[in-house]
Chain A
Amino acid sequence: MGEGIHTLQEFMLRTKGILYLLAVSYLLGFLWFWRFLNGGRKKED
């Protein structure tokens, strides 16, 4: 299953833990991305 992982519980703990961290990072990152995407030059009309 991987280094230091011997049981299904350890596997789930590791993968789910990383996944939750990634999910929170994504949500925070998306805020920055949204502002980046909608910033910049304003439409000239």
Chain B
Amino acid sequence: MSAPANSVKRPILSIGNAITGIIFLIGFWLTYLRFTGGLAAVTNLDHNNPWGIWIGFDLLCGVALAAGGYTTAAAVEIFGMKKYHAALRPAILTGFLGYSMVVLALIYDVGRPWRLPYPFFVSQGVTSVMFEVGACVLLYLTVLFLEFSPIALEWLGAKRLRRVIVRLTLLLTILGVVLSTLHQSSLGALFLIAPSKLHPLWYSPYLPIFFFVSSIAAGLSMVIFEGTLAHRNFADKMDQHHKQAADGIVIGFGKAASMVLAAYFTIKVFGVALDNNWHLLATSYGLWFLVEILGFILIPCLLFAIGVREHNLRLIRWTAFVTVIGIVVNRLNIVWLCFNWRLPWDERYLPHWMEIAISIFVITVGLTIYRLIVTRMPVFYEHPEFRETH
């Protein structure tokens, strides 16, 4: 259970911990209200707007931004890019916690958590896209747990069990990529049922492809963004190998993100062309669409490329942040701003402050567990007893 020698003891009484404590208190109180009073007690959801920010932000953005797990695992374990190995464990951990928080948010939205296994064991809706999403998330969360488990097992010193799971790494990685391909695209496919509700510039028969391709860009950018924050806050938990590999990871992932964004921009334009929606670009929604595809896709694509050419790490890191914001904007556009766009504004959905507070609570739970893990387990450093086996 040894951490790097320069490990800093963090005080328990700090401003950050006090804010976390307040968020937890409010979160527990709102949880009580949600599960005793129902959705109406804490949300502005109604029959016109059954999906709010718990689905739009926590679930759709959470799943997209947790894609760093499968993209990094595929790069390192399947494509053999071992120079990115230092990014693997943080990416797997972020993916595992991201998906765990997605399920937590889903429990708030769906309610009656004891019935969560029903779609699989009691009433299977095998023809539903939602069933496929649920099944994939369940299976992928299990895969992520197994991928994460060597970290915990090294910490616990369970050498034999760790050895068994490490032998399954390639199989787990392939399973993870397959399951992610399925459910990242299926989240887009959920909206294929509502062509009349989603604005034509965002609706496309190719929505599943848009969601899948954008998730790769989101995952790559999230690895860069998360790495930047980790280097700022947990540098004392990192070994020399991790610190030395960081710049190469930023350049490599920035390059990959640039190419993926170029492809994403192109298929988004293809989407407009296929439905002959050019005339809609001159409307207010069209201008917002242009902001999304130019400001959050094309410009980040070019900035990544310039950053890679010039080895400008700062530019790449900022661009990764903009790309992450762009993916959030895209998902919120689809589930919220451009959904039910024909309804008058007074019938449109605006999240209740308690919905936002519960979202903040869910994110804070994720961040707190992340912090607890990285300050204790070998995420940013190699455990001395297992150094040769990675």
Chain A interface residues toward B at CB < 8 A: 1-3, 5, 11, 14-15, 18-19, 22-23, 26, 30, 33, 36-37, 39-41, 43
Query: Chain A: which residue is nearest B279 at the CB level?
Result: A2
Residue of A nearest to B251 (CB): A43
CA distance A3 to B253 in the complex (A): 44
B266 touches A40 (CB 8 A): no
- Contact A11 to B269, CB < 8 A, known contacts A33-B262, A40-B308: no
- State whether A19 touches B270 (Cβ < 8 A): yes
B242-273 vs A, Cβ < 8 Å mask (1 yes, 0 no): 00000000000001001100100010011001
Q: Is there a chain A Cβ closer than 8 Å to B232's Cβ?
A: no
Known: A15-B273, A22-B270, A26-B266. A36 touches B279 (CB 8 A): no
Given the interface contacts A30-B262, A37-B255, does A1 sit within 8 Å of B309 by beta carbon? no
The binding surface of chain A is classed by DSSP as helix
Report if B274 contacts A (CB, 8 A).
yes
Residues from chain B with a CB closer than 8 A to the CB of A15 are: 273-276
Q: How far is the CB of B280 from chain A (nearest CB, A)?
A: 11
A40 touches B276 (CB 8 A): no
A43 and B83 CA atoms in complex are apart in Å by: 15
Chain B residue at minimal CB-CB distance from A15: B276
Residue B231 lies at the interface, judged by CB distance under 8 Å to chain A: no
For the complex of A and B, the 8 pairs showing the least CB-CB separation, nearest first, are A40-B309, A37-B305, A18-B273, A26-B266, A19-B273, A15-B276, A2-B276, A41-B311
Residues on B with beta carbons closer than 8 Å to the beta carbon of A43: 311
Contact B274 A19 (CB under 8 A): yes
Q: How far is the CA of A12 from the CA of B273 in the complex (A)?
A: 11
Q: Does B388 contact A (CB under 8 A)?
A: no
A40 to B269, CA, bound (A): 28
CB-nearest residue of chain A to B265: A26
A3 CB to nearest B CB, Å: 8
Q: Bound state CA distance, A2 and B280, in angstroms?
A: 11
A11 engages B310 (CB within 8 Å): no
Query: CB distance B269 to A22 under 8 Å?
Result: yes
Known: A36-B305, A37-B255, A37-B258. A22 touches B311 (CB 8 A): no
**Residue pair B276, A1 in contact (C-beta under 8 Å):** yes
Determine which of A3, A14, A41 lies in contact with B310 in the assembled complex, contact meaning CB atoms within 8 Å.
Answer: A41
CB <8 Å contact, B273 and A37: no
Q: How many angstroms between the C-alpha atoms of A5 and B262 in the bound complex?
A: 31
Distance in Å: Cβ of B317 to nearest Cβ of chain A = 17
Please give, as numbers and ranges, the residues of chain B lying within 8 Å of A39 by CB-CB distance: 309
